[in-house]
Structure 1
Amino acid sequence: MELIIYLAGEIHSNWRQTIKEQANSLPFHLNFVGPMENHERSDNIGEEILGNQPNTIFKDDAASAMNNLRTQVLMQKSDVVIALFGEKYKQWNTAMDASTAITLNKPLILVRPEKLHHALKELSRKANVTVETTEQALQVISYIFEEE
C-alpha cells in the first residue's frame, strides 16, 4: 500500500522538505504533493499563462485561479492531508486547505503548536487527528501501516 499525502500550509519555510526527509526512514513509501513551493512562481503563474494583468488585484485573481485548480486536483487525488499551522506566518491558506480537506471528506491531520490551541479549537475538532509536530503526524501515518 502506498499513500499520497497532501502537505497543506505555508510555503515560506522548509517544513515540507523536513517531513519528506523524516519519511525516508519509514519502512514504507509515501508520495507527497502540495501547493507550489516556489513563492514567486505561485504569485506570477497567472500572468505567465494569461499575460500581464491591469493591476495587482487582477494579477492575484489570475494566480489564485491557477493555484486553486492545482490544490483541488492534488487534494482530490490525495489519501490524507497534513495541514501545518506554524507560529511565524499568517495561516489563511492553511485554514482554507484544511477546510477543503474536511469538505472533501479527506482524512485530516492538523499540526499546530499548543499556543494556537484556542485559535484553532473548532478546526481541530473537525480534523481526524490533531498533533503538535510533524514527527507526530508521521507517527499517525505509520500507525495506518501497522499490522498488529
Structure 2
Amino acid sequence: MKFTVYLAGEIHTSWREELIDKAQALDLPLEFVGPMTDHERSDNIGEAIMGTQPSSIAKDEAASQINNLRTELLMKKSDLVIALFGEKYKQWNTAMDASAAISLQKPLILIRPENLHHPLKELSNKANVTVETVNQALKVLTYVLD
C-alpha cells in the first residue's frame, strides 16, 4: 500500500528534497505532494490566470485563492501531513497548513526546533507526533510503515 504525504512548511530550504531522497533510499511506499515551491510562480499565479490586478493586495488575493485551492485539494487526498517550522522565515503558511490538517483530521507530524517549543506548544499538542528534525520525522514514517 502506498501512502501520500503532504509536505507543508517553508519553501526556502531543501528540507523536502532531503526527506524525499532519504525516504526513496529506504524504499518507503510513499508519494509526496505539497505547496507550489516556486515562490515567484506562487505569487504571480493569480495574474497569470486572471490578468493584471488593480493593486498588490488584489494580486495577493487572486494568488491566494488559487494556492489555497491547491493546498486543500492535495491535503484532502493525503494520508498524512508533515509540517516543518524552520527558524529563519516567517511561518504563517505552515501554521495555517498544520491547523488545516488537524481540522481535516489528517494525521500530522510537526517538525520544529526546540527553541520554537513555547510559541508552538498548543499546535504541538494537537499534532500526532512532534519532532525536532527531518531525520526524526523519517524515523517515525519508517516505524509506522514497518
Residue of structure 2 in register with 1:18 after alignment = 18
Q: What are the residue-to-residue correspondences of 1:1-148 with 2, within 5 Å?
A: 1-146=1-146
In 1, the alpha carbon distance for the partners of 2:30 and 2:77 equals: 13
Q: After alignment, is 103-112 or 14-23 more displaced?
A: 14-23
Q: Over aligned residues, Cα RMSD in angstroms?
A: 0.7
Identity score, percent: 67
| Deviations, residues 74-95 of structure 1 (Å, cap 9, x unaligned) | 0000000000000000000000
Report the CA distance between 1:29 and its aligned residue: 2.4
In 2, the alpha carbon distance for the partners of 1:139 and 1:80 equals: 15
| Deviations, residues 42-100 of structure 1 (Å, cap 9, x unaligned) | 00000000000000000000000000000000000000000000000000000000000
TM-score by length of 1: 0.97
Structure 1 residue ranges, 4+ long, deviating more than 2 angstroms after superposition? none
| Structure 1 counterpart SS, 2:98 | helix
| Deviations, residues 76-125 of structure 1 (Å, cap 9, x unaligned) | 00000000000000000000000000000000000000000001000000
In 1, the alpha carbon distance for the partners of 2:92 and 2:32 equals: 21
Report the CA distance between 1:143 and its aligned residue: 1.2
Structure 1, unaligned runs of 5 or more = none
Structure 2, unaligned runs of 5 or more = none
Counterpart AA for 1:74? L
In 1, the alpha carbon distance for the partners of 2:127 and 2:28 equals: 24
Counterpart AA for 2:46? G
